[in-house]
């Protein structure tokens, strides 16, 4: 409750450090998913289903009967970094910690069982294994709460953003971690004339533009980003996978406080404005 009072969305974790499993009504996303998931849905389940997407600061939810039963089973507290507008650079071993100390600006540091969490102010896309022993946990991800850490928090640096850009521009590995969200995919953009690096760079700039408006104006920023990105594809024969790009923008807007229906409307209108201008 104290963490929630500090605007940190929390959730119970089991002995394996993972979120508790979904209830039968939510298994295989039968409920449609939470509104703030990559594919927003109508789920209003009272149980802490869907992992990071169920994390909340609502004291009535946290103290409810269903969550009370979950807390009794929990062995750790998790939190949603993106929901608190922070990014966790998860350093899993001493070599990764040494790399961070020589590469990244100092910030709030939390000691973990295997390494350290470096916490920066600002949200971004999550990604696993961006380099040996380094994961990025922010949007659509969770981290284990291990204390407030030491040192003042610093703003999210370009060097951390670049780690995810580099990860997205490389060929997919044979095995992909299921907790890392899927982004723009050439398999559904067979008619796009742009390279994956070009698309991802533009998308990341649009997401950064939306995240830069945590207080107000995020809806307008989402509309502008959607219109700008869609306009870049008007000369393509298509399809260009714009639906996936739209979902990324919507998720970013929701994370900074835009209601899900309004976020979707802003992005849809922005896309339509760009495509309609050349229709």
264 contacts 40 by C-beta, under 8 angstroms: yes
pTM of the model: 0.62
Task: Give the Cβ contact number of residue 92 at 10 Å.
Answer: 17
pLDDT by residue for the chain (279 residues), tens digit each?
A: 999 999 999 999 998 889 988 999 998 888 988 887 877 788 889 999 999 999 999 999 999 999 999 999 999 999 999 889 899 999 999 999 999 999 999 999 999 999 999 999 988 888 888 899 999 999 889 999 999 999 999 998 888 888 886 544 444 333 333 333 345 666 667 888 888 878 888 888 888 888 887 666 788 888 888 988 888 888 888 788 888 888 889 888 887 778 888 888 889 988 888 876 544
**Distance, first Cα to last Cα, the chain:** 52
Write the pLDDT tens digit of every residue in 71-90: 999 999 999 998 898 999 99
Cis peptide bond prior to 143, omega within 30° of 0: no
């Amino acid at each position: 409750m104290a963490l929630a009072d500090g605007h940190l969305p929390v959730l119970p974790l089991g002995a394996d450090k993972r979120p508790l499993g979904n209830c039968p009504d939510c298994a295989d996303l039968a409920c449609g998913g939470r509104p703030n998931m990559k594919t927003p849905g109508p789920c209003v389940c009272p149980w802490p289903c869907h992992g990071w997407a169920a994390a909340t600061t609502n004291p009535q939810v946290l103290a409810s009967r269903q969550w009370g039963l979950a807390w009794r089973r929990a062995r750790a507290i998790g939190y949603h970094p993106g929901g608190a507008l922070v990014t966790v650079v998860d350093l899993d071993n001493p070599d990764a910690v040494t790399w961070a100390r020589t590469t990244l600006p100092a910030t709030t540091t939390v000691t973990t069982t295997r390494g350290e969490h470096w916490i920066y102010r600002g949200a971004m896309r999550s990604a696993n294994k961006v380099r040996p022993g380094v994961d990025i946990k922010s949007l659509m991800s969770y981290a284990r709460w291990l204390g407030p850490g030491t040192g003042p928090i610093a703003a999210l640096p370009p060097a951390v953003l670049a780690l995810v850009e580099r990860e997205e521009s490389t060929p997919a590995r044979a095995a992909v971690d299921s907790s890392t969200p899927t982004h723009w995919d050439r398999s559904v953009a067979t008619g796009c004339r742009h390279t994956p690096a070009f698309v991802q760079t533009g998308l990341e700039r649009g997401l950064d533009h939306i995240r830069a408006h945590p207080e107000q104006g995020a809806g307008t920023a989402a509309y502008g980003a959607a219109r700008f990105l869609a306009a870049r594809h008007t000369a393509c024969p298509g399809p260009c996978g714009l639906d996936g790009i739209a979902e990324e923008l919507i998720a970013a807007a929701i994370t900074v406080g835009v209601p899900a229906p309004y976020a979707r409307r802003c992005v849809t209108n922005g896309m339509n404005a760009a495509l309609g201008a050349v229709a």
